Amino acid sequence: MAENYRQCAVSVMDTISDPDIRFDEKGICNYYYEYKEAERTKVKTGEEGRQTLREIAETIKKKGQGKPYDCIIGLSGGVDSTYVAWIVKDLGLRPLAVHFDNGWNSELAVMNIHNIVSKLDIDLFTYVINWDEFKDLQLSYLKASVVDIEAITDHAILAVLYRLAADKGIQYMISGTNVQTENTLPKSWIFSKSDHINIKSIHKKYGSVKLKTFPFMDAKVKRYYQQVKGITSVSVLNYVDYNKQQVKEFIQSELAWRDYGGKHYESVWTRFYQGYILPTKFNIDKRKAHLSDLIFGEQISKEEALAELARPIYDPQQQKTDFEFVLKKFGMTEAEFAAIMAIPARSHYDFDYEKPIDKRYPILKPVKWLYRLLFPVKSR
Amino acid sequence: MVRKRIIPVLLLNEGGLYKTVEFKKASYVGDPINTVKIFNEKEVDELVILDFQASKQGRGIDFAKITEIAGEAFMPMAYGGGIKTFEDAKKVIDAGFEKVVLNSILFSEPLLARKIADVYGEQSVIGAMDVKKNLFGKYGVYSHSGTVKTGETPVEWAKKLAELGAGEIVVNSIDKDGTWSGYDEGLIRQVSSAVGVPVIACGGAGSLEDLKKGIQAGASAVAAGSLFIYQKKGMGVLISFPSTLRV
Amino acid sequence: MIAIINYGLGNLTSILNMFRRIGADAVITSDPAEIAAADKLLLPGVGHFKTGMETLRSSGLVDVLEKEVFEKKKPILGICLGAQLMTKHSEEGDVAGLGWVDARTRKFDASRLSELKIPHMAWSDVSFVDSNPLWTDLPADPRFYHVHSYHFDFEDSADVSATARYGYDFVTAFHRGNIYGTQFHPEKSHKFGMKVLENFAKL
């Protein structure tokens, strides 16, 4: 491993499991420049940010007049979506909150969501995925040995949000995606969240349960919602000074939010996926990406990031308990799971996948910027 | 002050959890294993799992599934649905449940309760009854998920259940099920005052106030489904549980 | 290794589950050899005292247990009926118990319960009388699940370790040397019970 190992001069991104990283003559990696560019073009802070938010809120309110809700937000119990909920209410908007239950919720996440909707008085819609179908999809992905197992959940969330928004006449989706803590993500670590063809082809090969209720979003449907129903996504967190530590403290005191120790650790499955499967099978430590963003945004120093990375990604006792739970949920033995972990990694492109929309329909090329805004090539 | 037990009731059907309204319109609520795990982490007092279609559909008990479910709980658990013989009850208890809930079977096999109570104690047998009002407002006990009229009144049947060996009786109002409109307090009062064993109120609780009223009406413990499974009436699934109720 | 004694009665699975969750080695067994090899013993039990005594005697394990407890001084924890069996006698069936502790098992005195019903089936607050190692570092406001119609009756309070209240104060745990007994069910008492079993495993 030691040969050709390089780490970015300013951040903790490195060459491990990242064939796309590049370094300039100063030893600074491409992610730094991409972050700065995104910050320049997408992020507005201070008074400029607040003004932008006020203007957006005015537009949303106007468009949503006479309807029960003027915007829709996703709630996972995590920091980003919790803060979004607070901002949205602070702006005087009338959101419908959507929680997506894939059968892996932790009690912490449920408690956090409960506190948010009660304290902020927000209506909640929950989409509960049929566990038998979802389990079959997850197992298919495990057997396919592809990296982005979370694509299934992310895809379904998008599908549900779009359908619900269209159903209720809501034109604005307020998203929690943000540059300041999640701009950086190596391409090889994820796959397109909106690609239903990839999910279906992987499932066709390895699945056994018929998918009767799983929410899919195919390109045609997406285009319909975007263009005809006119649904827009707004990343409000790009218009605030998004200092993670300060935000955590804020929502802790305002909304009795409880921390679970890691990004997206509100889901037992995600915890296990990021804490065990990714590092062990794919040699990917997602913390590097998140911490590097915090370095780029000057929220932490490289030393602090290195100290964080030196800590175990997963508390051993927690990992053991989670592992037993995962085996129970999947109905697998340790041996069966070990066999799956031993399968060499495959690329998502080994299976059928959706071709980029403007390649299939060149007429939509001008809309590609909107497409990229709605479906940025990074995970949540 | 004695803490009154607050008991979530989860309805199981073919491996998934559901919730009904007036025993109809079952909506999917999620995976039982994760749901019980969450309730366990919320430190609920007790949990009842009912395979509510088992007797009606003549199905057997999914022992594998309920064993997995019991493994997630470090509080008392009760299971009901399709228990027909002593062996069934034994297997359920061996799977990790403290109590068995007997409903429809007691109309055809009344001695089953005593057989189980003699070995495991009366506290291990919960006699459950589902009650509906007829057009004249008179209460009647129904079996097989509310589809078979038994001809019994709640008070008479409650007394019989206690005699037959039930250590507790859960009284469920079919009319109030899933309506968030409060317990049928008249029904609870009738039954609690008629028997010496603890009575658990069920059906209709929509708020903590309703739970308190159930205790005031004479119940020793209060049970609910919708209240703990949905965030609010008409809103999405979100597991919740209040901290201890003291009355 | 903790041997959970299987003599035919008790929430064996639940007890094993809790030991597993806290990472303690435990096994359900009725094999005298395994019992002799264990470091600690757990005597569970749910149900009728008379049935319990009969089942325990006919299992042939009483001699083995008494050897382990009195000669080898192995720590033993009795839960619910298991603890009651350690007393001298129970009104439930009017039957003699093992007599390991100087106490009797009596039915709740209905005249002192007012409207409270029997059995006592509830999560009750527990008051600790002595510094029994099982009570170390318990989470705040400890409460434990009780389900019983009969309770311990100790004349001499030396072995009384904890009390609870149901109509009146009654003994809910005892401790005598290497012999521990709880009326309540630690395996069904969430983090409180988990701590008690953890402390037992660490003895």
Residues of C in contact with B198 (CB under 8 A): 117, 119, 121
Which range (A256-270, A349-363, B104-118, C95-109) has the least confidence? A349-363
pLDDT (0 to 100) of residue B21: 84
The pLDDT-based confidence of A380 (bands split at 50, 70, 90) is: very low
For residue C119, whether the previous peptide bond is cis, meaning omega lies within 30 degrees of 0, is yes
- Mapped onto helix, strand or coil, the DSSP state of residue A2 is coil
pLDDT (0 to 100) of residue A205: 96
Q: Does residue C46 surpass a pLDDT of 80?
A: yes
Cα–Cα dist B195/B199, whole Å? 8
Residue of C14, C117, C148 lying closest to B220 (CB–CB)? C117
Q: What is the DSSP letter of C185?
A: B
- Nearest residue on chain A to B64, alpha-carbon basis: A331
Cα–Cα dist B129/B232, whole Å? 27
- Nearest residue on chain C to B221, alpha-carbon basis: C122
Which range (A38-42, B233-237, C35-39) has the least confidence? B233-237
pLDDT (0 to 100) of residue A377: 54
Higher pLDDT, B4 or A202: A202
Label the pairing between strands C168-176 and C120-128.
unpaired
Higher pLDDT, C10 or A64: A64
Question: Which pair of structure tokens corresponds to residue B247?
Answer: 């009355």
For C:141-180, CB contacts with B below 8 A are 143, 145, 147-149, 166
- Nearest residue on chain A to B32, alpha-carbon basis: A103
Q: Does residue A138 surpass a pLDDT of 60?
A: yes
pLDDT (0 to 100) of residue B57: 79
Cα–Cα dist A33/A47, whole Å? 25
Between the CA of residue A109 and those of A79, A328, B36, B41, B42, what are the distances in Å? Answer: 10, 21, 15, 12, 12
Max distance between CA atoms of chain B, in angstroms, equals 46
Between the CA of residue A35 and those of A14, A179, A212, A297, A298, what are the distances in Å? Answer: 16, 7, 41, 8, 12
The pLDDT-based confidence of A378 (bands split at 50, 70, 90) is: very low
Q: Does residue A369 surpass a pLDDT of 80?
A: no
Cα–Cα dist A151/A189, whole Å? 11
- Whether the CB of B193 is below 8 Å from some CB of chain C: the reply is no
Q: Does residue A244 surpass a pLDDT of 70?
A: yes
Report the pLDDT averaged over residues C2-14: 89
**Whether B31 and A126 lie within 8 Å, measured CB to CB:** no
Rounded to the nearest 5 percent, the helix, strand and coil shares of chain B are 35, 30, 40
C187 is catalytic: yes
Cα–Cα dist C36/C25, whole Å? 15
For C:56-115, CB contacts with B below 8 A are none
Q: How many CB atoms lie within 10 A of CB B118?
A: 14
C71 is catalytic: no
Cα–Cα dist C102/C157, whole Å? 10
- By the 8 A CB rule, do C8 and B65 touch? no
Residue B29 half-sphere exposure toward CB, CA atoms < 13 A: 28
ipTM of the complex: 0.85
Residues of A in contact with C21 (CB under 8 A): 321
The pLDDT-based confidence of A379 (bands split at 50, 70, 90) is: very low
Q: Does residue A174 surpass a pLDDT of 60?
A: yes
Give how far A131 is from chain B: nearest CA, Å. 6
Residues of C in contact with B244 (CB under 8 A): 123
In chain A, the percentage of residues whose pLDDT exceeds 70 is 93
Report the pLDDT averaged over residues B88-98: 93
CA A81 to chain centre: 10
Average pLDDT, chain B: 91
pLDDT (0 to 100) of residue A118: 92
Question: Which pair of structure tokens corresponds to residue B131?
Answer: 């009650």
Cα–Cα dist A268/A110, whole Å? 12
Cα–Cα dist B231/A126, whole Å? 9
- Whether the CB of B11 is below 8 Å from some CB of chain A: the reply is no
- Residue pLDDT, tens place only, C139-187: 988 999 999 999 999 988 899 999 999 999 999 999 999 999 999 999 9
Residue C26 forms beta bridges with which residues? C2
- By the 8 A CB rule, do B26 and B20 touch? yes
Question: Which pair of structure tokens corresponds to residue A324?
Answer: 């037993």
Which of these is catalytic: C48, C120, C148, C185?
Answer: C185
For residue A68, whether the previous peptide bond is cis, meaning omega lies within 30 degrees of 0, is no
| Residue C126 burial class via C-beta count within 10 angstroms: exposed 0-12, middle 13-18, buried 19 and up | buried
- Residue pLDDT, tens place only, C64-120: 999 999 999 999 999 999 999 999 999 988 999 999 999 999 999 989 988 788 888
The structure's pTM equals 0.88
- By the 8 A CB rule, do B88 and B66 touch? no
Label the pairing between strands C26-29 and C2-5.
parallel
Place of tokens 């749901």: B35
**Whether A114 and B240 lie within 8 Å, measured CB to CB:** yes
Amino acid in the structure at residue A109 = A
- By the 8 A CB rule, do C41 and C77 touch? yes
Average pLDDT, chain A: 90
**Residue environment code for A234-259, b if the CB has 16+ CB neighbours within 10 A, otherwise e:** bbbbbbbebbbeebeebbeeebebee
pLDDT (0 to 100) of residue A315: 85
Cα–Cα dist B102/B61, whole Å? 13
Cα–Cα dist B118/B124, whole Å? 10
